[in-house]
């Protein structure tokens, strides 16, 4: 597929005009960022891994009746997706305490929460993606109460699916975030899962060792990020078991 007009470029992906009305081409970059892009690095192969992993999760959700924007993978770095109107919120589902929840509430990382907790953050890098309440969301018109109810229901269904996928391969799902988009069928609005689902947007710990297999490896300088993502892909069968991450070839004298 020929490259088309660039629509938007974010920290980890680029959106291009799609081949048909109502579609986009989503390109996964190798860029890794943390702390609202204050920490940046290019990780060779990261985009390929996230493309394949997001395809795996989005396809699985589509198959069980959870609607997503994913149509099909085009190549190793690109997906064909449905054009949606993104709601300017990150929907965060926390199963175990970690990250900012541990910092805010003083709960030890890894503690199992009484039930999955759904939080909302405003998508605004300049403000640091602040936590917002349902009252804020409805008052400022970012989403209606009905939208919020649907977003929570979607997020909990994604949680059930992801938790099962990960448990089956010896990985504990700690938390994750999704984005939700609006699509219109005539006058009828539906909400669907958009953006991506990958180790960039999930916290994943090995059940036995507690080893982190997500972007915290990059945030906290815990090792090679591509190796961690490759391990997740290998366990899920997204990559053959004999594939390992290798750096780019270098010239030798």
Cβ-count burial of 86 within 10 angstroms (0-12 exposed, 13-18 middle, 19+ buried)? middle
- Mean pLDDT for 116-120 is 98
Q: Phi then psi for 58, rounded to 5 degrees?
A: -65, -40
Q: What is the pLDDT of residues 26-84, one digit of tens each?
A: 999 999 998 877 899 999 999 999 999 999 999 999 999 999 999 999 999 999 999 99
The pLDDT score that the predictor gives to residue 248 is 45
- Mean pLDDT for 75-102 is 97
Q: What is the pLDDT of residues 204-253, one digit of tens each?
A: 999 999 999 999 999 999 999 999 999 999 999 997 544 445 444 444 44
pTM, entire model: 0.91
């Amino acid at each position: 597929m020929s490259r088309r007009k660039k629509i938007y470029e974010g920290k980890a992906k680029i959106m291009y005009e799609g081949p048909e009305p109502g579609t986009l081409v989503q390109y996964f970059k190798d860029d890794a960022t943390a702390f609202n892009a204050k920490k940046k690095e290019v990780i060779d192969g990261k985009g390929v891994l996230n493309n394949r992993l997001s395809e795996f999760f989005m396809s699985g959700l589509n198959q069980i009746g959870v609607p997503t924007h994913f149509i099909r993978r085009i190549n190793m770095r690109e997906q064909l997706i449905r054009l949606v109107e993104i709601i300017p919120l990150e929907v965060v589902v926390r199963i175990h305490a970690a990250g900012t929840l541990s910092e805010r509430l003083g709960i030890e990382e890894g503690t199992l929460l009484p039930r999955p907790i759904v939080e909302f953050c405003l998508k605004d890098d300049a403000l640091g993606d602040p936590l917002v309440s349902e009252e804020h969301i409805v008052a400022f018109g970012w989403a209606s109460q009905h939208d919020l109810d649907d977003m929570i229901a979607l997020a909990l269904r994604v949680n059930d699916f992801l938790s099962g996928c990960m448990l089956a391969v010896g990985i504990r799902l700690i938390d994750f975030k999704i984005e939700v988009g609006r699509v219109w069928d005539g006058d009828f609005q539906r909400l669907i899962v958009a953006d991506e689902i990958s180790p960039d947007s999930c916290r994943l710990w090995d059940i036995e060792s507690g080893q982190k297999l997500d972007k915290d490896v990059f945030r906290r300088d815990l090792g090679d990020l591509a190796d961690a993502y490759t391990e997740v892909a290998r366990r899920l069968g997204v990559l053959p078991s004999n594939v390992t991450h290798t750096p780019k070839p270098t010239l030798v004298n």
